[in-house]
Homo-oligomer: A and B are copies of this chain.
């Protein structure tokens, strides 16, 4: 009788293409935390979604708070990067902002920073929280910096750049809004971006 699944003997060669397990865990956890929040996702949930055991996760991330911290940092880092990239393009500032909004609305289900920061405040340790806050601040500073530059260039009126940056992010999140019947109020991300930036621009133009 034939053996069912013939496997090569000995230690399996490491699959070069396989992602390190640590990264799989982080990505999976990030996705879950975004969807359901810190308290609604258990370490068991993450483990199951990764097809590993809880102990494996603890091997890489000493506490749940650390995993959450790592997830937030990675996420913000990525957002910051993508913001930087778009802001560097050589189209008008207004067009850059519009592109930024469109891409973000397309890329994610409502990543609400305020939410993550709130959960961080409540659930993380002091040191973890400081890390996360620094990263968030960094992310906002990126936009703030761009606002300052454009103020200097005269593209937009002079004003409180921090306030402008936060207003921009706040308005961006309106793109996700659904009305009373559960329908998006915009037909596409592109249209949402257009309307949002038109609105924003009126406030900041000279």
Q: Which residues of A contact B (CB under 8 A)?
A: 36-37, 39-40, 110, 112, 114-115, 118-119, 122-123, 133-134, 137, 140-141, 160, 162-163, 166-167, 170-171, 173-174, 177, 179-180, 185-186, 195, 199-200, 202-204
Contacts and interface: CB of A to CB of B under 8 A. Distances in A.
A186 B159 CA distance: 13
The complex is assembled from copies of this chain, and their number is 4
A98 B166 CA distance: 19
A204 B163 CA distance: 18
Given A40-B122, A122-B40, A171 B179 contact: no
A167 B134 CA distance: 27
B160 A36 contact: no
Given A122-B36, A122-B37, A177 B166 contact: yes
A162 B110 CA distance: 18
Contacts of A200: 203
A141 B180 contact: yes
Contacts of A180: 133-134, 137, 140-141
Nearest to A185: B162
A137 B110 CA distance: 19
Contacts of A186: 163
Contacts of A203: 199-200, 202-203
A171 B173 contact: no
14 contacts: A110-B114, A115-B118, A137-B179, A137-B180, A140-B180, A141-B180, A160-B195, A163-B186, A163-B199, A166-B174, A166-B177, A167-B174, A170-B171, A202-B202
A81 to B, nearest CB: 19
Nearest to A115: B115
Contacts of A115: 112, 114-115, 118
A180 B140 CA distance: 9
Contacts of A40: 39, 122-123
